[in-house]
Amino acid sequence: MYSVNAYIENPSLAPANISQLSIRRDWMGSETYNCDPVTLANTLGYGISFPVDISFIWDGKLWEPGYGILGKEYIWSGRPDGTVSLITNLIFKTDENTSLLTTSVPNQFVKEYEAISTIISTSFFANVFSVVLKINEDYVGKEIFIPANTNVACILPISIKQFDDSVIKINNSAFPYEKIHGNQDYINALHKGRDEGKRLKLYRSGKDHMGNIIGKHEVIKLKLNVEK
């Protein structure tokens, strides 16, 4: 569990909205919602949205930024390379072993722009937090519109130290364990359940096709809180 404090920089301006990401995605159908690895990833992070409509435009010159049209109070056009910075009006503070990772919203695919990934040491970074969007070159000269309360990126408190000196070892040998999830009996059981209108939830429950427990998840459902 991580603890993050957020402070409003300008009391006269409403800050960005922060809430746990929803499991829902516009492109997903019922079959995709049955995929636990996808749905768990959908909720991994706090969504960042803004209380007003925002729009901006870029003329295509790489050494120039995009410029705000709507919601200018939340837009800073100080970076080049076809980007815009959305100002959250929040300053974050953490302990020295916690950083804030910013990424695009998992499994939310946006044609017009992509959130630039950053990792900020919020234990000492004492300035307003911004989300930087890179505008897609296919949208040069077109106004890009983001409705109010639309998540444009997500943030996640993490400990970078936990990744330091990690190792992935490639073994030049056969997998020495039973390949349960590639087993045809396992696949047949899933297909049979689907054909009968059932969701067996074998992966979610850590079971094989016979109902035997084969493992345990770190967590099945994430809960991320915001206190005011």
Tens digit of each residue's pLDDT (9 = 90 or more) over 15-43: 999 999 999 999 999 888 888 999 999 99
Range of the domain at 204: 167-218
Instruction: Please check whether residue 21 is in contact with residue 43, taking contact to mean a CB–CB distance below 8 angstroms.
Output: yes
Residues 130 and 211 in one domain: no
Three-state secondary structure call for residue 194: helix
Residues 149 and 191 in one domain: no
Q: Which DSSP letter does residue 16 get?
A: P
**Residue 224 domain-assigned?**
no
Q: Which of 120, 135, 162 is the last residue of a domain?
A: 162
CATH number for the domain spanning 119: value is 2.70.40.10
Q: How many domains does the chain have?
A: 2
Residues 109 and 38 in one domain: yes
Residues 15 and 52 in one domain: yes
- pLDDT tens digits, the chain, 228 residues: what are they? 899 999 999 999 999 999 999 999 999 998 888 889 999 999 999 999 999 999 999 999 888 888 999 999 999 988 888 999 999 999 999 999 999 999 999 999 999 999 999 999 999 999 999 999 999 999 999 999 999 999 999 999 999 999 999 999 999 999 898 888 878 888 888 777 777 777 788 888 888 888 889 899 999 899 999 998
Q: For 131-156, write each residue's pLDDT tens digit.
A: 999 999 999 999 999 999 999 999 99
Residues 24 and 81 in one domain: yes
Residues 184 and 104 in one domain: no
Residues 95 and 183 in one domain: no
Residues 77 and 99 in one domain: yes
| pTM of the predicted model as reported, rounded to 2 decimal places | 0.90
Residues 212 and 129 in one domain: no
Residues 86 and 52 in one domain: yes
Long-range contacts for 117-122 (Cβ within 8 Å, ≥24 apart)? 119/158, 119/160, 120/92, 121/96, 122/4, 122/92, 122/93, 122/94, 122/98
